[in-house]
């Protein structure tokens, strides 16, 4: 369904993105922000799934500044590799790349939603604080706490797993306290529960979170 797109950030950096378009006129645009595994099969499938719902979806390859074409799986070796590449990323530069993806959809006259998973879940939050988008949804973003006191510029929804070993519920409580206006849903699931390529995949939680996310985007983007 999708295709590779070449984007250029405001600092001149050229990078790839995966783009999936709906069959008819798009009802809005969705930026899909990757986990630490690159724009891999799962992230491309997520983009395709939003296109199937009538949105134009773009997943920017935000690892390209460090290493082009990162596309890895979920075994321990891949996780180590993903963490290393993510650690080498500079947040300001990553945001330039997300901004380029947002700008692409804005020039097409679309309202824009942002959805991110894992690392991307945290980046979706930062995007909602710093850019003019219409809605943002973060799945199990473990790095929101350093940015919890930033002011949100659009409606935001967050999804977490109660059994997530990497995100303590005390962190979720702190976000709730700082932003009582943000709907936060906690599922009886672990980290990565939306990804059917991972052992932590939880179909029930994924379906419930997806329904809520689509309702959110339907209200503010579509």
> Is 48 known to be catalytic?
no
pLDDT (0 to 100) of residue 11: 98
> Is 159 known to be catalytic?
no
Q: What is the token pair recorded at 220?
A: 């503010």
CATH architecture of residue range(s) 3-220: 3-Layer(aba) Sandwich (3.40)
d(CA 184, CA 199): 24
Q: Read off the pLDDT of each residue in 162-168 and give the average, rounded to a whole number.
A: 96
Grouping H, G, I as helix, E, B as strand and the rest as coil, residue 148 is coil
Which of the 8 DSSP states describes residue 146?
A: G
> Is 118 known to be catalytic?
yes
Share above pLDDT 90 across residues of the chain, in percent, rounded to a whole number: 99
The residue annotated as part of the active site, out of 48, 97, 134, 164, is 164
Q: Read off the pLDDT of each residue in 167-191 and give the average, rounded to a whole number.
A: 97
Confidence of residue 91 (pLDDT cuts 50, 70, 90): very high
d(CA 209, CA 129): 22
**pLDDT tens profile 13-23:** 999 999 999 99
Q: Read off the pLDDT of each residue in 192-205 and give the average, rounded to a whole number.
A: 95
C-alpha to C-alpha distances, 18 to 38, 39, 89, nearest whole angstrom: 11, 7, 19
119 CA to centre of own chain:
8
pLDDT (0 to 100) of residue 171: 98
Confidence of residue 65 (pLDDT cuts 50, 70, 90): very high
**pLDDT tens profile 114-127:** 999 999 999 999 99
pLDDT (0 to 100) of residue 192: 96
Arithmetic mean of pLDDT over the chain: 97
Confidence of residue 50 (pLDDT cuts 50, 70, 90): very high
pLDDT (0 to 100) of residue 41: 96
d(CA 163, CA 141): 14
Q: Is the pLDDT of residue 108 over 80?
A: yes
d(CA 202, CA 155): 26
Q: Is the pLDDT of residue 1 over 80?
A: no
Q: What is the token pair recorded at 69?
A: 């074409």
Q: Is the pLDDT of residue 195 over 90?
A: yes
Number of other residues whose CB lies within 10 A of the CB of residue 193: 28
Each domain of the chain, given as residue ranges in start order, spans 3-220
Contacts of 169 (CB under 8 A, 6+ apart): 160, 162, 186
pTM over 0.95? The answer is: yes
Q: Is the pLDDT of residue 51 over 90?
A: yes
The residue annotated as part of the active site, out of 42, 159, 179, 191, is 191
d(CA 198, CA 191): 9
**pLDDT tens profile 131-148:** 999 999 999 999 999 999
φ, ψ for residue 136, nearest 5 deg: -145, 145
The residue annotated as part of the active site, out of 118, 154, 179, 200, is 118
d(CA 102, CA 110): 10
pLDDT (0 to 100) of residue 82: 97
């Amino acid at each position: 369904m999708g295709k590779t797109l070449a984007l250029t950030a405001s600092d001149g950096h050229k990078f790839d993105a995966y783009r999936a378009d709906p069959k008819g006129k798009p009802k809005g645009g969705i930026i899909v922000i990757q986990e630490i595994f690159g724009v891999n099969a799962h992230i491309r499938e997520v983009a395709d799934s939003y296109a199937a719902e009538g949105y134009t979806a773009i997943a920017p390859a935000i690892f390209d500044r460090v290493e082009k074409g990162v596309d890895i799986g979920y075994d321990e070796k891949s996780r180590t590799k993903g963490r290393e590449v993510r650690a080498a990323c500079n947040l300001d530069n990553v945001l330039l790349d997300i901004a380029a993806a947002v700008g692409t959809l804005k020039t097409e006259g679309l309202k824009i939603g942002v959805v991110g998973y894992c690392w991307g879940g945290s980046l979706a939050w930062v995007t909602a604080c710093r850019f003019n988008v219409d809605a943002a949804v973060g799945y199990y973003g473990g790095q929101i706490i350093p940015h919890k006191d930033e002011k949100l510029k659009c409606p935001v929804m967050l999804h977490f797993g109660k059994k997530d070993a990497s995100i303590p519920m005390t962190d979720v409580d702190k976000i709730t306290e700082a932003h009582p206006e943000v709907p936060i849903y906690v599922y009886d699931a672990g980290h990565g529960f939306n990804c059917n390529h991972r052992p932590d995949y939880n179909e029930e939680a994924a379906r419930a979170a997806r329904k809520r996310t689509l309702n959110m985007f339907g209200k503010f983007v579509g």
